[in-house]
């Protein structure tokens, strides 16, 4: 049992409130995942300044990152160090900081993860002060792998892409082996990372997000609700049985998804929202 929240803003006047709204949503699903948490934020100028490459790292302090990467600026967020710079930052990080774990990269997006109480983590991240146009969050109850920042969600394994997952993939070991044969590498034993790597691989092969999620439904066994975000999209899909809870709320100002209604109830104008439960194996995509 884990908790998922996500918010895609259509109304620019709400962007200064993105972090505060996501913090409130995250606080409503703590009981679903009390051991760790993470968020991905799109559009915050402090974490991801326009035009700058961004990498989120574990295992490196801000001082170490700035010393190893000339011209880079590093921001601390609990266990995560967010680095932004000009140029090909992922390649520079790989060369200068080979011991670091990359948990997110792209432009305009930062990933923050840690272990412990999700409300305390949100405070440590400074989430309430974050701005932007889209964010996803997750509270984890670990079942198949260790409670570590690496095992926390979101899993961001392609540029600007993130996945959060409630449920379990029964055949993740088989698919992990298949992806490794194709050259895909992994950072954890978490089954959710396999789903994220599968989607990223499909996107690299030319599929759009809707097609990638349909292929996941065809290939993966198990129970799951997924929220997947990219640099311009926000998507939800559930397995064929749809036993893992999910609700979507939509207004002209925003689209939101959460594991429980109470996480939606904190949003402005929710009383006028169209609220529905996603149908099994139907892919829902909203784009910027």
Two tokens, residue 193: 């990372």
Q: How far apart are CA 169 and CA 159, in angstroms?
A: 23
2 annotated active-site: yes
Q: Cis link prior to 154 (omega < 30° from 0)?
A: yes
Q: How far apart are CA 122 and CA 79, in angstroms?
A: 12
Any residues with CB less than 8 A from the CB of 212 and at least 6 apart, and which?
198, 199, 202, 203
Q: How far apart are CA 137 and CA 23, in angstroms?
A: 9
Closest CA to 53 of 103, 134, 107, 102: 107
Instruction: Please pick, among 2, 162, 217, 243, the residue that the annotation labels catalytic.
Output: 2
Please tell me the number of Cα atoms within 13 Å of 133 on its side-chain side.
Answer: 16
Q: What are the catalytic residues?
A: 2
């Amino acid at each position: 049992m884990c908790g998922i929240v996500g918010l895609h803003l259509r109304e620019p006047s709400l962007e200064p409130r993105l972090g505060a709204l996501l913090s409130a949503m995250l606080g409503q699903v703590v009981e679903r995942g009390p051991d760790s948490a993470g968020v991905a934020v799109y559009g915050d100028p402090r974490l991801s300044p326009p035009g700058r490459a961004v990498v989120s790292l574990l295992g490196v302090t801000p001082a170490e990152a700035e010393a190893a990467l000339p011209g880079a600026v590093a921001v601390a967020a609990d266990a995560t160090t967010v680095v932004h710079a000009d140029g090909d930052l992922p390649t520079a990080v790989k060369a200068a900081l080979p011991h670091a774990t990359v948990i997110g990269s792209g432009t305009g997006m930062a990933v923050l993860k840690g272990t412990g109480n999700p409300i305390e983590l949100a405070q440590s991240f400074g989430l309430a002060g974050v701005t932007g146009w889209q964010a996803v969050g997750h509270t984890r109850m670990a079942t198949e792998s260790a409670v570590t920042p690496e095992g926390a969600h979101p899993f961001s394994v392609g540029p600007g892409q993130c996945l959060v997952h409630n449920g379990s993939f029964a055949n993740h070991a088989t698919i992990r082996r298949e992806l490794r044969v194709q050259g895909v590498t992994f950072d954890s034993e978490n089954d959710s990372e396999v789903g994220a790597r599968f989607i990223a691989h499909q996107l690299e092969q030319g599929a759009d997000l809707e097609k990638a999620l349909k292929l996941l439904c065809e290939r993966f066994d198990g129970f799951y609700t997924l929220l997947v975000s990219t640099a311009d999209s926000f998507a939800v899909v559930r397995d064929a049985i749809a036993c893992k809870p999910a609700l979507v709320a939509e207004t002209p100002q925003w689209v939101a998804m959460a594991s429980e209604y109470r996480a939606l109830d904190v949003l402005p104008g929710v009383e006028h929202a169209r609220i529905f439960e996603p149908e099994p194996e139907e892919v829902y995509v909203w784009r910027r």
